[in-house]
Amino acid sequence: MLLLALLLLVACEKRQQLTIGWSTVEPAGEISKTIARELANEFTIEEKPFASAAELSEAVANGEVDLAILEEPPQAQSDLFVLRAMFPSVLHVLAKPDLSARNEGANSISDVVRGRSVFAGRPGGAGYSLVQLLVELNIFPPADEFTLLESIFDAEADILVVFGGILSQANLQRLQSYRLISLGNVNEYGRGSWAEGVALRSPNIQPFIIPEGLYPGLGDNATLSLSVRSLLVTHASLSDQTAYNLLMRIDELMAQIRSIYPLAGRQQANSEAISFNLATHPGAIRYEQREAPGFLERYAETLAFIVTLLLALSSLLLALIRMRKQARKDRIDVYFEEIMKLREEIHTVENKSGVTEKIVALQHKVTTLVSDERIAADNAFIGFLELSNQVLEESRR
């Protein structure tokens, strides 16, 4: 009956509610749906699609959404917390074939864009914001020297700025009339290229090399571009234990997530933290440190040295105590010898009063040494007093 009651209690226990949101940008949408589906056995899942990343970010900050995949923001935000890095979102700059032929490196990218129409996605989106940043860094020409389209339907763009995951086969088919252009010389990467300078100015951005042969037909050579980390984020009120459990499950799902997007879980270069602009959730910190060595493991050698030193000091202290005790014993042995000599003197002299005075003086001397702690008040001292009193009585007979 007790077992049945426990089973009923577990069955009736209300599962935790978890709201997962996503925007239309891929592969974040498909990965989010996969996570929602796989977590449905442990949580009561609510799925919420959003038209833009900005709306999704606001919903997470307000606590309306518990989990979402968002690009790392360019500025610090105190109302979003990182659980883990998911994948790099890659910038693709594509131009009409006649324009891409003019692209020979970072010095010419401004000339390629100047006087042309550019589509970079919705205003406020990651691609749109990156174009504005490239203008600020003088990589793109000033904003009044090219046309930034707000809709793909406004006109056929000369240049497309596509920001997101690795392009799918369906996207490659739609982009057949464009060619991939490089934002700099690939050979300069690692030698202070402008892409690395962008990363220093905006830590949420990293240089990214699109490998040769990744997009047959769009470009035959390796291409230097940029990427932004896509992060799994939450709000402050998500409990540490829930965050810990979620990360454990998502780690188990990473093989499945990589089948959707091969760059998932890829570590970003030069990143000492998950995010430069968002704080890490305490539950994520706990999870990251789960296999870190404990206090005893980290300081085992130091503790062993301290224990060895304490043992050595203890041995030295014991030796000093023994030496002091032995010195006190040796000192009182001298007075034992003196009292025995006085006993012999009793039988050899006629005037015993002189011997009596000597015995009293010796007792006084030894008692003073004991009070000054130069001789221990132990059994040897008691033995001396008994013997000296006995000799004193003999001297008075």
- Binned at pLDDT 50, 70 and 90, residue 267 comes out as low
Measured between alpha carbons, how far is 122 from 154 in angstroms, rounded to an integer? Answer: 12
Higher pLDDT, 293 or 82: 82
Measured between alpha carbons, how far is 110 from 338 in angstroms, rounded to an integer? Answer: 111
Tell whether 216 and 288 lie within a shared domain. yes
Position 254 pLDDT exceeds 80: yes
C-alpha closest to that of 388 among 319, 325, 337, 323: 337
Tell whether 166 and 256 lie within a shared domain. yes
Tell whether 237 and 355 lie within a shared domain. no
Assess if residue 6 is contained within a domain.
no
Higher pLDDT, 141 or 125: 141
Domain boundary among 276, 292, 308: 292
Assess if residue 361 is contained within a domain.
yes
- Binned at pLDDT 50, 70 and 90, residue 102 comes out as low
Tell whether 286 and 309 lie within a shared domain. no
Assess if residue 250 is contained within a domain.
yes
Report the range of poorest mean pLDDT among 80-89, 164-173, 369-378: 369-378
Domain boundary among 238, 271, 292: 292
The DSSP letter of residue 101 is T
Assess if residue 45 is contained within a domain.
yes
Report the range of poorest mean pLDDT among 200-214, 238-252, 292-306, 345-359: 292-306
Tell whether 305 and 270 lie within a shared domain. no
pLDDT at 297: 56
Position 108 pLDDT exceeds 80: no
Assess if residue 5 is contained within a domain.
no
Higher pLDDT, 273 or 78: 78
Assess if residue 7 is contained within a domain.
no
Tell whether 140 and 83 lie within a shared domain. yes
Q: For 350-367, what is each residue's pLDDT tens digit? A: 777 787 888 888 888 888
Measured between alpha carbons, how far is 362 from 364 in angstroms, rounded to an integer? Answer: 5
In which domain, by residue range, is 323 found?
300-395
Tell whether 348 and 240 lie within a shared domain. no
Tell whether 216 and 343 lie within a shared domain. no
Which of 108-122, 151-165, 343-357 ranks highest by mean pLDDT? 108-122
Tokens 């769009």 sit on residue: 218
Write down the mean pLDDT value for the chain.
80
Q: Which residues contact 250 (CB under 8 A, 6 or more apart)?
A: 35, 83, 84, 232, 257
Position 219 pLDDT exceeds 90: no
Tell whether 127 and 226 lie within a shared domain. yes
Position 1 pLDDT exceeds 60: no
pLDDT at 299: 63
Domains of the chain: total: 2
CA of 250: how far to CAs of 67, 117, 247, 279, 391, in Å?
12, 41, 5, 20, 94
Tell whether 149 and 267 lie within a shared domain. yes
Q: For 129-145, what is each residue's pLDDT tens digit? A: 788 888 887 878 898 99
Strand-pairing partners, residue 84, are: 232
Assess if residue 10 is contained within a domain.
no
Assess if residue 50 is contained within a domain.
yes
Domain boundary among 258, 292, 326: 292
CA of 178: how far to CAs of 95, 130, 221, 373, in Å?
5, 20, 15, 101
- Binned at pLDDT 50, 70 and 90, residue 385 comes out as confident
Domain harbouring 279, CATH code: 3.40.190.10
Position 80 pLDDT exceeds 90: yes
Q: For 298-330, what is each residue's pLDDT tens digit? A: 566 777 778 888 888 888 888 777 666 655 555
Q: For 178-192, what is each residue's pLDDT tens digit? A: 888 887 788 888 887
Tell whether 203 and 314 lie within a shared domain. no
Q: Which residues contact 143 (CB under 8 A, 6 or more apart)?
A: 132, 135
HSE of 165, CA atoms in CB hemisphere, 13 A: 24
pLDDT at 8: 45
- Binned at pLDDT 50, 70 and 90, residue 11 comes out as very low
pLDDT at 35: 93
Tell whether 106 and 154 lie within a shared domain. yes
